[in-house]
Structure formats: C-alpha cells, structure tokens
Amino acid sequence: MKKAGIIGATGYAGVELVRLLLSHPDVEIGAISSVSFEGKSISEIYPNLLDILDTALLTEQEVIDRCDIIFAAVPHGLSQELARKCKTGGKLFIDLGADFRLYEEADYKQWYKGEYVYPELHREAVYALPELYEEKIASAKVIGNPGCYPTTVALGLAPMLKKKAIDPDTIIIDSKSGVTGAGRGLTQNTHYPDCNEAFSPYKIAEHRHTPEIEQTLSDLYGEKVTVTFVPHLLPVNRGIESTIYAKLVENFSIEEILESYKAFYKDKKFVRILPRGQIANIKNVRCSNYCDISLHLDARTRRLIVVSCIDNMVKGAAGQAIQNMNIAMGFAQDAGLCLIPPAF
C-alpha cells in the first residue's frame, strides 16, 4: 500500500479526496493537513467521518514527509512551493488548484495575478485530463488536475474539434454549477436564504476557467480557439451541467455525430455517451466519476448542442485526481473509482 497525503483536507475537494481514498485498494491515507484546523481531528470538522477517520490534522510538512503521493487542495499560488518540495523528495504531486493548469505564464499572470516561481516545474508539469492526455500523465511527477468547468467542456467538444467538425468561432458555453463549487468558505451568495430559490449567472465572460478551456480546445483543434463562457450558480449541492453550442461545418446527421463520440471514447470508462433522444442530467452522475454527454442537433440552425454533466467534486476534482494518480502510479485506472451514482 502506498501512502497518500492530502494538504488542505478540510476544504470541499480535500474532504472528498479523503472519503474516496479511504476506499482505495492500493493506497492508504498517510497524513492530512489543514491550516485552519491544525491539531483537531478531521471528524470534529466533518462529523460524517466519525469512527471512520478520527486522525488529527497535521502540518503540510508532515504530510510531505510521511507520504509517497501528495494531493494539494489549496488556494492558487500556494502549490508551487509544495510541488518543488515533493519533486525534490521524489514524491508524486497532484495539484487540485490552478497553479499547474496553464501552459503559458502570461495566462496565469492575466487571470490569476501570480507568477511562475519555478519555470522548470511548469515545463515538466502535465495538464492531466485523463481521457485526452493519458500517456503524458503516465510518466508525470507534477500533475495539474483540471478545473471542473473545463472538464465538462473539453470532454464535450473533443471529438468534434479533433475532426474539425465545428466552427470554433461559434462556441458558446452556458454552464451551471452546484454550490459546492464555490467552496466551504462563507459568502453572502452561498448563504442559504440567498442561494435557495435563486438563480443567476456570475463572472459573465470573465471566469478564470476561460483560459484553461481555451487552452485545451485550441490544443484539440490545432489553432487558437476563443470562446464565450458564462457560468451560473445552481441551487443544488453537487453537479455541473454545461450546455455547449457550436455551428457544424458540414451536414452531419445525429447518428454520425453519436458514432464519432462513441468511437472517440471507446475505451474511456468514465465517459458515457447517452443513447439518442436521452438528455444528460447531473442527477445521474452524482457521487460518481462519470461524465455523461448527450448530443443534439438544432436542424433549423445547423447548430450542434452538447450537454455535458459531471459531479464537480468527483470527476471535477477529487475523483479525477485519483484517476490521475492511478495512471501515474500504474494502478488500475478505475481503482477506488467504481462509484455507482445513486438514483436519488
């Protein structure tokens, strides 16, 4: 059994990692840390873990010292130093934040107002969307785990962009995220009476996931792609749904489109292409690592409409991080991830 450690274990992504790793066949939790709750037991903060994991929250350094694999779920800017220490110590580092997602420091500067302290680490780091970059992940030591929204978009558009079947200038992404996407920190927006029975977009055309989305789409298409991306806050706990619009460049039938998606994701267990006529719903992927995709044609306007759904905390964060660990460590890719979404 390898030892995995989680830095930032009391954030939402961190505690979901804890939960999933507790059932992993090849890994055990070696140590967990939290700046806010150091010294306390994690089950004091999250009573769902009572009698299951009552160990104390330690420091970052203790996590790095005691473990072979380090997951970091910390605010952006804080992962670079952690990555360097892990690299030096020969440990696998998986960052759930944004520090290792963008290839270009200029993008990071523009959208996150930070800089790349160790450029060589960034050159080496792998943007780890497993269905697209499995080979690079297999040999990676520093892994940038994708953002939640970008995962839905990249998986939703990859087959079409790869074969240049859509016009990239027409891509519009209308996404909706459950409230856990905003994290554990208290804000007026996520105060129950403000958030319940409410609905609204936020950060319209200026969300930080935009450059990450465009980076992957550009990579798939082979040319620079610029998109309109509008996220909305959805009054549910978990789940992201992205409705993606793009003009088809040719007169494909829905059957042809479905076939190309099925072929593209043939051996990708965690992407489910829905049968014709069914529509993806966040309900059907909840608490699982699946990305459900349904395809639709607006015959009147020749637009393709892709509906792409994940659980933002699993395929959009902790589950995908474990999937990346599995690949990098040579475990079965679905180890610890055979999660069946509940019906309700």
Catalytic residue annotation: 148
Q: Least separation, in Å, of the C-beta of 28 and its own copies?
A: 14
User: Mind giving me the DSSP string for 55-105?
Assistant: PBPB-HHHHHHH-SEEEE---TTSHHHHHHHHHHHT-EEEE-SSTTT-S-H
Are 177 and 235 in contact by the 8 Å Cβ rule? The answer is: no
Can you tell me which of 135, 235, 253, 262 binds its own copies, judged by CB under 8 A?
235
Among positions 2-21, residues that touch its own copies (CB under 8 A) are 12, 15-16, 19
- In the complex with its own copies, which residue's Cβ is closer, 109 or 191? 191
Least spacing, CB of residue 160 vs its own copies, in Å:
16
Give least dist CB 88 to its own copies, A: 32
Site string for its own copies, 22-61 (x = CB under 8 A): xx----------------------xxxxxxx---------
What does each C-alpha distance from 140 to 74, 77, 193, 212 come to in angstroms?
20, 21, 44, 19
* Pick 39 or 47: Cβ nearer its own copies: 47
Nearer to its own copies, 99 or 241 (CB): 241
Residues in Cβ contact with 143 at an 8 Å cutoff, skipping those fewer than 6 apart: 92, 93, 94, 95, 100, 125, 126, 128, 137, 321, 324, 325, 328
294-328 b/e with 16+ CB inside 10 Å = b?
bbbeeeeeebbebbbbbbbbbbbbbbbbbbbbbbb
Instruction: Pick out residues in 249-308 that bind its own copies (CB under 8 A).
Output: 272, 274, 278-288, 292, 296-301, 303, 305, 307
Please state, in angstroms and rounded to a whole number, the distance separating the CA atoms of residues 141 and 282: 32
Q: Which is nearer to its own copies, 136 or 247 (CB)?
A: 247
Contact by Cβ (8 Å): 107, 215: yes
Q: Which is nearer to its own copies, 58 or 233 (CB)?
A: 233
- DSSP annotation of 270 reads T
Residue type, 314: V
* Least Cβ distance, residue 313 to its own copies (angstroms): 8
Query: Based on CB atoms, which residue is closest to its own copies, 106 or 117?
Result: 106
Which residue type occupies 21?
L
340 lies in the site for its own copies, by CB under 8 A: yes
Q: How many residues bind its own copies (CB under 8 A)?
A: 85
Which residue is associated with the tokens 């996150």?
112
Closest approach of its own copies to the CB of residue 221, in Å: 16
For the record, the structure tokens of 231 come out as 């996220």
Q: Which of residues 169-228 bind its own copies (CB under 8 A)?
A: 169-170, 172, 174, 176, 178-180, 184, 186-188, 190-202, 204-205, 226-228
User: Which member of 35, 56, 78, 236 binds its own copies (CB under 8 A)?
Assistant: 236
Q: What minimum distance in Å lies between the beta carbon of 142 and its own copies?
A: 27
Q: Pattern of binders to its own copies over 113-142, x per CB under 8 A?
A: ------------------------------
Alpha carbon distance 281, 77 (integer Å): 34
